[in-house]
Amino acid sequence: MSIEKTILIITDGIGHKENSRKNAFRDAKKPTFDYLLSSVPKTLISTHGLSV
């Protein structure tokens, strides 16, 4: 049986908004984070309002 490695990364306070002007996090130079976003499975969760 093969064991697959998994890592959980929680990024509190960043938020996610594709089409936002003046988004400092999106515009920042963060090659490792950008690589992870583009190459590994991920999910977004809603953490506000009626979702919690």
HEC string of 1-52 equals CCCCCCCCCCCCCCCCCCCCCCCHHHHCCCHHHHHHHHHCCCCCCCCCHHHC
pLDDT of residue 48: 82
pLDDT of residue 44: 85
pLDDT of residue 30: 92
pLDDT of residue 1: 82
pLDDT of residue 52: 86
The tens digit of pLDDT for each residue in 6-48 reads: 888 888 888 777 777 778 888 889 999 899 889 998 888 888 8
How far from chain centre, in Å, is Cα 37? 6
